[in-house]
């Protein structure tokens, strides 16, 4: 009997510890259902989500988890989660479906939050993950006549925003049919978006997959992006951006810019785009700037890119203007030190490489190595266009880009 006492005590202690651990885990979990959410796809669950977040934010537990359970559909009006709370790190486990009101006139917002649907701001340590879907139900927004509904058009919202935050991980989720941009990363640093699916019809307007602006140290990888605009767009004030293993198309490709509109001084630098496949996109890797702008785009690398019928696999456009009437300006955003290597595949236009640079501010230090692009209807007609660009080419560069000098030493 004496030999059984230590074993009994050990088992008792283990049971107590397990019970405390389970109890602690339960206290860390905040399920929106417990705060009144219905999840039937019809009732508005915004207030329940607010109550759940108030409880999370006011809780003293470490690393709480906000849970959106699977098997349900939750209707949300524009909502902001502010991370200035008691805890420093948070997890959002989204396994269910979150939808916006389908009718633009049913959106409830004020001037402060009309342009964003779901916003996370002021976090330092945030994980947003799960098997769920974020659906902005943008169909009625896309067909809206702005001439007849100017007030509603001004409220067209970006779907999912990370702002003024650090150390953020977004993974596994699906984003669909945002009224405008699907995901926007703004004024943030150390952001990783991985294994995402972002989808909208190819003709849906301004539905960029991921837009980055005023942000640094951002990585986007292992994602499928099929939208009506840029798969990834990189705006002003962004640097140290790494984009890899992306399947892009339909859409407008991966774009730096547009920059310099209305004479603004805007810059992007240290961008690395690699291992990307473009499928019937209107562009592949693109840099676009407005005439009359100021600033710079520099230290950019595009490598291991495959084009499957993209219209313009490689394009620099310092004359970007999507309007019918565009004025000629002398100043331009400087473009310098851009490297292209191991880019291959087909294009559905004869001009596979287009470098249209400014006379006053030519593109400098453009490097191309191991380029093999072919017009899919007639390989022999594949061509390039090169205006005011300077740099070097190495190895096979097809089509030949004659404004770049051959140099076998880089």
Tell me what pLDDT residue 14 has. Answer: 52
pLDDT: is 323 or 143 the higher one? 143
Residue 257 confidence class, pLDDT cut points 50, 70, 90: very high
Nearest to 136 by CA among 180, 93, 186, 193: 180
Q: Concatenate the DSSP letters of all residues of 253-298 into one string.
A: -EEEEEE-GGG-EEEEEEEEEEEEEEES-SEEEEEEE-BT-EEEEE
Question: What's the pLDDT tens digit per position in 181-198?
Answer: 999 999 999 999 999 999
C-alpha of 391 from chain center: 30
Across the range 202-227, mean pLDDT stands at 98
Question: What's the pLDDT tens digit per position in 290-321?
Answer: 999 999 999 999 999 999 999 999 999 999 98
Residues 115, 252, 296, 308: which is the catalytic one?
252
Residue 36 has pLDDT above 60, yes or no: yes
Tell me what pLDDT residue 19 has. Answer: 42
Query: How far apart are alpha carbons 131 and 171 in whole angstroms?
Result: 9
Distances in whole angstroms, Cα of residue 148 to Cα of each of 144, 249, 289: 8, 32, 31
- For the CA atoms of the chain, what is the radius of gyration? 25
Across the range 346-353, mean pLDDT stands at 97
Element (H, E) at 97: strand 97-99
Tell me what pLDDT residue 202 has. Answer: 97
Total Cβ atoms within 10 A of residue 378: 9
Element (H, E) at 239: strand 238-248
Residue 8 has pLDDT above 90, yes or no: no
**Per-residue burial over 173-208, b = 16 or more CB atoms within 10 Å of its CB, e = otherwise:** bbbbbbbbbbbbbbebbbbbbbebbbbbebebebbb
Across the range 21-33, mean pLDDT stands at 71
pTM of the model: 0.92
Residue 165: HSE in the Cβ half-sphere, 13 Å Cα cutoff: 31
The reply to whether 252 belongs to the active site is: yes
All domains in the chain, ordered by first residue? 28-208 (2.160.20.10), 230-410 (2.160.20.10)
Report whether 76 contacts 100 (CB < 8 A): yes
Report whether 192 contacts 214 (CB < 8 A): no
> What is the separation, in whole angstroms, between the first and last Cα of the chain?
81
């Amino acid at each position: 009997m004496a030999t059984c006492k230590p074993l009994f005590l050990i088992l008792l202690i283990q049971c107590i510890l397990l019970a405390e651990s389970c109890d602690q885990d339960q206290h860390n979990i905040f399920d929106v259902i417990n705060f009144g959410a219905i999840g039937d796809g019809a009732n508005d669950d915004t207030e329940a989500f607010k109550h759940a977040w108030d409880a999370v934010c006011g809780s003293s537990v470490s690393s709480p988890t906000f849970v959106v359970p699977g098997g349900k559909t939750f209707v949300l009006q524009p909502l902001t989660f502010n991370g200035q709370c008691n805890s420093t790190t948070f997890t959002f486990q989204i396994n269910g479906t979150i939808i916006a009101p389908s009718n633009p006139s049913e959106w409830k917002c004020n001037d402060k939050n009309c342009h964003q649907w779901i916003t996370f701001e002021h976090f330092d340590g945030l994980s947003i993950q799960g098997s769920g879907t974020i659906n902005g139900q943008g169909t009625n927004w896309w067909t809206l006549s702005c001439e007849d509904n100017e007030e509603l058009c001004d409220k067209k919202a970006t779907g999912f925003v990370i702002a003024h935050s650090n150390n953020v991980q977004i993974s596994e989720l699906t984003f669909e049919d945002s009224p405008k941009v699907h995901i926007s990363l703004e004024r943030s640093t150390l952001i990783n978006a991985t294994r995402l699916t972002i989808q909208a019809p190819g003709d849906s307007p301004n539905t960029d997959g991921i837009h980055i602006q005023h942000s640094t140290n951002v990585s986007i990888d292992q994602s499928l992006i099929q939208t009506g605009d840029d798969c990834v767009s990189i705006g002003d004030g962004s640097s140290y951006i790494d984009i890899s293993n992306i399947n892009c198309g339909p859409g407008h490709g991966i774009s730096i810019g547009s920059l310099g509109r209305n004479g603004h001084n805007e810059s992007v630098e240290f961008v690395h785009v690699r291992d990307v496949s473009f499928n019937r996109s209107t562009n592949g890797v693109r840099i676009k700037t407005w005439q009359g702008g100021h600033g710079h785009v520099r230290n950019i690398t595009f490598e291991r890119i495959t084009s499957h019928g993209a219209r313009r696999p490689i394009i620099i456009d310092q004359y970007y203007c999507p309007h019918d009437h565009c004025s000629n300006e002398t100043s331009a955003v400087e473009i310098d030190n851009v490297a292209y290597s191991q880019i291959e595949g087909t294009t559905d236009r004869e001009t596979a490489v287009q470098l249209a640079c400014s006379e006053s501010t030519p593109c400098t230090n453009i490097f191309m190595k191991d380029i093999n692009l072919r017009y899919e209807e007639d390989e022999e007609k594949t061509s390039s266009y090169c205006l005011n660009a300077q740099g070097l080419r190495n190895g096979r560069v097809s089509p030949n880009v004659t404004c770049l000098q051959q140099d076998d030493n880089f």
